[in-house]
Structure 1
């Protein structure tokens, strides 16, 4: 008779299996929502994942709960890459520029991300995809330092979030000029009170390469689609 496995080992294996199943559901949901939008039903996701209905309800109770979890997961994946690159900079204006440029270029690099965003209702369901809390941090610093002229924090946050979200929709919906992300961010900086020539200097700064880990949902789903 084989000795009983240590409890902590069994617990770890069960947790890893549960995490893999949840990740598979989120990956399948991304593929389905990117194609059909939030009106896609649970059966579509279950079929894509190749799982039983009971497995789905072990992780999510409703379609809406799954949608929110997927948006949050994508946001977290992107911010794990984008925010460290943003925090290398001291100037709040440069931080805003780098973060928003990277977010817009992510739409171009990962088409499923753009397709998912386009099919979400504006603006509520998209808000978690914009990392508003990160932008708010840098905007607050800029306002406190007088970097953004007389623009208040709430106005500045809404301005940046609204423009970036609409620009992301445009990038995902139709062909745009290669420098469209930079033109959008230049306009944002000017609207925040940055001089046009200085905004151009900030936009001209090289952008770090955006590379998500191989295990991220966006990468796995895109490879599956290919």
Structure 2
């Protein structure tokens, strides 16, 4: 038997082990999303996640040591996945207004389709701990590019970003409580763009652009 034949089963077992470990980690993150959305970041205890995920206590500690560590992992997973999903859909767009408009519409569409996700992100405690820098860098770049091109009118890009973030949080809470109506998302985007100084003609052109379908958050790999 050759050396390659001897090592192949070991490599296969290693791969299967990694896949099983990733499935279990994803299972815990899925459970964390539900628990944090229901109870908030401060209230849950580790037992809550163990019960929701249907795993043993020792299994949980193989992946996370504290609820705070799990919260950070959940925030990073969800925010990075959504921004990556949005960037996948708008990556070919060069117009900063169109990119921002489409991104906001996709974000609000996600909130409408996934109330648990919206409930998680709409909590002030979660917003305060979001890794804004690396995750939302594309949004800041769109604001910067659009301002340079004269498409946006604002005095400070951080203030412009806070305007967008604040409106999105309130809009997510409206989706959760059922205080929305047909066309609500476009109205939210429209008034946000007005606040950024975008011309009415350009706003309506961006809102009339076909909206791509956003892939769902990967709640896959259902069991370990």
Task: Flag whether TM exceeds 0.5 (same fold).
Answer: yes
Deviation (angstroms), 1:4:
7.7
CA–CA distance in structure 1, aligned partners of residues 113 and 75 of structure 2:
17
- May I ask how many residue pairs the two structures share in their alignment? 216
Q: How does 1:93-108 map to 2 (within 5 A)?
A: 93-108=97-112
Could you list the runs of 5+ residues in structure 2 that have no partner in the other structure? 1-5
Conserved? CA contact 1:156–1:192, under 8 Å: yes
Question: In the alignment, which residue of structure 2 is the partner of 1:17?
Answer: 20
In the superposition, the TM-score normalised over structure 1's length comes to 0.85
Conserved? CA contact 1:92–1:138, under 8 Å: yes
CA–CA distance in structure 1, aligned partners of residues 121 and 55 of structure 2:
25
The answer on 1:72 being equivalent to 2:76 is yes
Change (3 A) 1:206 1:142: same
Question: In the alignment, which residue of structure 1 is the partner of 2:173?
Answer: 169
Question: In the alignment, which residue of structure 1 is the partner of 2:142?
Answer: 138
CA–CA distance in structure 2, aligned partners of residues 88 and 102 of structure 1:
16
Change (3 A) 1:126 1:180: farther
Deviation (angstroms), 1:19:
0.6
CA–CA distance in structure 1, aligned partners of residues 143 and 86 of structure 2:
16
Which of 206, 211, 214 pairs up with 1:207? 211
Change (3 A) 1:120 1:27: farther
CA–CA distance in structure 2, aligned partners of residues 51 and 220 of structure 1:
15
Change (3 A) 1:80 1:15: same
CA–CA distance in structure 1, aligned partners of residues 131 and 184 of structure 2:
21
In the superposition, the TM-score normalised over structure 2's length comes to 0.85
Question: In the alignment, which residue of structure 1 is the partner of 2:3?
Answer: none
Conserved? CA contact 1:33–1:119, under 8 Å: no
SS in 2 for 1:60: coil
Conserved? CA contact 1:142–1:148, under 8 Å: yes
Conserved? CA contact 2:89–2:214, under 8 Å: no
Question: In the alignment, which residue of structure 2 is the partner of 1:224?
Answer: none
Higher RCO structure, 1 or 2 (CA under 8 Å, sep 6+) = 2
Could you list the runs of 5+ residues in structure 1 that have no partner in the other structure? 222-226
Q: Which moved more, 1:99-108 or 1:195-204?
A: 195-204
RMSD: 2.5
CA–CA distance in structure 2, aligned partners of residues 151 and 191 of structure 1:
12
What is the CA deviation profile of residues 39-92 of structure 1, one whole-angstrom value per residue up to 9, with x for unaligned ones? 111101101112111111111111011111112212233233211212221110
Conserved? CA contact 2:101–2:206, under 8 Å: yes
Deviation (angstroms), 1:210:
2.0
CA–CA distance in structure 1, aligned partners of residues 150 and 140 of structure 2:
15
Which of 27, 33, 36 pairs up with 1:33? 36
